Structures are given as C-alpha cells and as structure tokens.
Amino acid sequence: DGGITQSPKYLFRKEGQNVTLSCEQNLNHDAMYWYRQDPGQGLRLIYYSQIVNDFQKGDIAEGYSVSREKKESFPLTVTSAQKNPTAFYLCASRPAGSGETQYFGPGTRLLVL
C-alpha cells in the first residue's frame, strides 16, 4: 500500500539529547514537509524540501535539522538547542502539480523526560 509512514509513534527525549524522527513515503512525491503541532496553535512549518538534496527553513526551524538524501525519506532531528520540543510532529508530502495539496503521515509524539 502506498502512503506516508512516521516512526516511532512515541519518542522520549532526555535533556541535552538529540533525537531523530523518521518520515518515509512510497508515493513518489517530490516535496516533503515537517510540521509541529501544539494544542490550540494549528500546524507550524519547520522545514520543507522540494527536491532531493535541497531543503529550506520554515517558520520555526531553530533547534531542528533535516536531510533529504533520498526522494522517499526526510528525517527530522530535534537537537538539544530546541528547548521546548514536546509536541506532535507531522510529516507531509506533495506530488508535483498538485496545487499544494499535501498528504500527511500519522505523526510522532515527542515527550521530554
């Protein structure tokens, strides 16, 4: 089945630790995105990538890093510089010519120990 997978479903981070969230898609979509969701704030864009080996900062990129070495994969690293990482993280992808129609994965909830 085609789709977007995110792992793990829950992730716990210790203070000072970097953690990486996985996002994989087998939809052959060109663009991929990472969003952060906090209660009552909707979705905020962290990073996006329109093609392999290229990515751009979104609205809240500080404390996060990404890579796009393969079309199918867009992992997000939450670094120790992100002081308030507790949130629900959503990955999305978009096919070419879709008029910005994005399709979302199931999400990863990150909690701080």
Partner 1 sequence: AQSVTQPDIHITVSEGASLELRCNYSYGATPYLFWYVQSPGQGLQLLLKYFSGDTLVQGIKGFEAEFKRSQSSFNLRKPSVHWSDAAEYFCAVANMFSGGYNKLIFGAGTRLAVHP
Sign of CA dihedral 113, 44, 61, 32: positive
CB of 72 to partner 1, least distance (A): 17
Q: Is 61 in the site for partner 1 (CB under 8 A)?
A: no
| CB atoms inside a 10 Å sphere around CB 62 | 10
Position 17, amino acid: Q
Q: Is 43 in the site for partner 1 (CB under 8 A)?
A: yes
Q: Is 2 in the site for partner 1 (CB under 8 A)?
A: no
- Identity of the residue, 84 or 101, whose beta carbon is nearer to partner 1 in the bound complex: 101
CB of 25 to partner 1, least distance (A): 12
| CB atoms inside a 10 Å sphere around CB 7 | 13
Cα 19 off chain centre by: 12
Stretch that binds partner 1, among 14-22, 41-49, 64-72, 77-85 (CB under 8 A): 41-49
Q: Is 41 in the site for partner 1 (CB under 8 A)?
A: yes
* Alpha helix ranges (H) inside the chain: none
**Cα(91)–Cα(51) distance, integer angstroms:** 15
Binding site for partner 1 (CB under 8 A): 4, 6, 40-43, 45, 48, 50, 56, 88, 90, 92, 99-107, 109
